[in-house]
Amino acid sequence: MEALEARIQYAFKNPRLLAEALTHPSLAYETQGPHFDNQRLEFLGDAVLQLILTRKIFLLFPRLNEGSLTKLRSQLVSRTALQRYAERLGLGAFLMMGKGEDASGGRERASTLADAVEALVGAVYLDSGLDQATEVVLRLCHEEIASLDLDLDHLNPKGRLQEILQATGAPSPTYEMLDARGPDHRKEFVARVFWQGEPLGIGQGTSKKLAETAAAREALAHPTVRHLAASQPSVPARLRPVPTRPHGEKPSESLSHS
């Protein structure tokens, strides 16, 4: 496994942990014998990955609220993101799996690759602790961290609209359901958002929540809202990350010292 260790820039002290992280459950099923797999490490690695990346964006964006931080974190830990990390490492080629799983495209399956990344993180954590796991994760996720989508209008239009309007000292916007049409299994909802008696936007969606979100997104383009937003500190300025090293924290910011 030296080639994979070179790619993650980490050498395991206990190679069995790496082997376990790369073993798909289909191998034990196919051999009908006792065999470890990566499911337990995946469970552990998921929590470790969440902690490392949560701390990273918490430090990078000190002025963001909980909801916005959650949205940013989801960009880093989604199945799509995990699959991208795995493909960057060529992780599929290193997986040990049953012949049937292999033949059915298991090495390229998004869920399999995502699970393997989490298991790999869990293995590094068990092998050397949180500081080493942090270094591996931040190197692996560096590109995604650097290109996080900070457009809160896109991430959370209802939250952004409320933020803009509440900054005036006035009450929050209110939403009214205008219509619900179509059969029960395919119903379409239409909502309108008001502020101080003025309609700001209309939206539709397959649920009340989606309809309100669409209405808020339209409201963000309303002249009144745009004028208010322009008079407030710009979103990019408030979201600008604090300086950081690309591949990890300074020793004084080590997770073990937090």
* Residues involved in catalysis: 46, 118
Q: Which residues contact 49 (CB under 8 A, 6 or more apart)?
A: 77, 117, 118, 121, 137
Residue 43 neighbours by CB distance under 10 Å? 13
Q: Which two tokens stand for residue 242?
A: 């604090």
Contact predicate 215/155, CB 8 Å: no
Answer for the pair 113, 20: CB distance below 8 angstroms, yes or no. no
Q: Is the distance from CB of 38 to CB of 21 less than 8 angstroms?
A: yes
DSSP line for 3-50: HHHHHHT---SSHHHHHHHTB-THHHHHHTS----SHHHHHHHHHHHH
| CA gap 123, 45 in Å, rounded | 7
How many Å separate Cα 129 from the centre of its chain? 23
Q: Which residues, listed in sequence order, are joined to residue 194 by a DSSP beta bridge? A: 174, 199
